[in-house]
Structure 1
């Protein structure tokens, strides 16, 4: 919290990295961090028993992946169909591109090893393309 970043110890490509937090993320997480006594180590997100979520890649968890299950429940309650936890990566990358963030920065923050993967994950909306074409004189 003091550095304003999130450390990712368990990534798909096994590379530990830190990514900066958006100010809104800081605003949401700060009260949780303060309630926990402002720890400098440990997990932020705990399950209902106050324990860190298990890495589902390392152990079979009864009932499946709890984060995927909670996401599916939230989507169902909101009436959202066909949107997975993994889709958030596509959504995030697309919004970064449309905000004008360079592809190298997106690649590093997203943990992709190539610009090709960033291009594969990101897309731009029709509105964004319209705004872009309207910039031409």
Structure 2
């Protein structure tokens, strides 16, 4: 589905991917329109063929029918973001799907996936064991600081004058 720049909040053209459920719903709606109003080019129309200009009335009716109180149309967007983050979708992809200009807007959902951070850190253990090839790797700090004229002349900090050796 494509949105023209005049239809987006930031005035930029966007392409929005649809999952199979959304695609099936649109195709069903298009099928209804084709059988009832074959000359109408629009998918979302009233029974008389008039364009639906605002989905609010239908949305509120659907909420009443489902027994849902205190729910706004925009809450669907928050629900989508929350479900994506909870399922482990990276925040950068969620940002792109929601059309956020910056990752800062998307980061409000990061708290919903604390296990993802733990999983990310666990990758370091897996990587370490792969690189060690069964042997325990240890970092040995050789605290030999260079004391040449270059080091003191450039005022290099101690950590920059220290050699690290990875021994297996």
The TM-score normalised by the length of structure 1 is: 0.65
- Provide structure 2 residue ranges, at least 5 long, that are not aligned to the other structure: 36-40, 123-168
Count of aligned residue pairs for this structure pair: 112
- Provide structure 1 residue ranges, at least 5 long, that are not aligned to the other structure: 1-5, 55-65
CA displacement at 1:97 relative to structure 2: 0.7
Q: C-alpha separation between the residues in 2 aligned to 1:123 and 1:21?
A: 26
Partner of 1:16: 13
Higher-RCO chain (CA-CA 8 Å, sequence separation at least 6): 1
Matched, 1:73 2:61: yes
CA displacement at 1:117 relative to structure 2: 0.8
Partner of 1:60: none
Rate the CA distance shift 1:118–1:30 in 2: closer, same or farther, 3 A. Answer: same
Rate the CA distance shift 1:123–1:84 in 2: closer, same or farther, 3 A. Answer: farther
Partner of 1:29: 26
Q: 1:120 aligns with which of 84, 94, 108?
A: 108
Q: CA-atom RMSD, angstroms? A: 2.8
Q: Which structure has greater helix proportion?
A: 2
Partner of 1:7: 2
Q: State the structure with more CA Rg.
A: 2
Partner of 2:80: 92
Question: Which shifted more, 89-98 or 66-75?
Answer: 66-75
Rate the CA distance shift 1:122–1:76 in 2: closer, same or farther, 3 A. Answer: farther
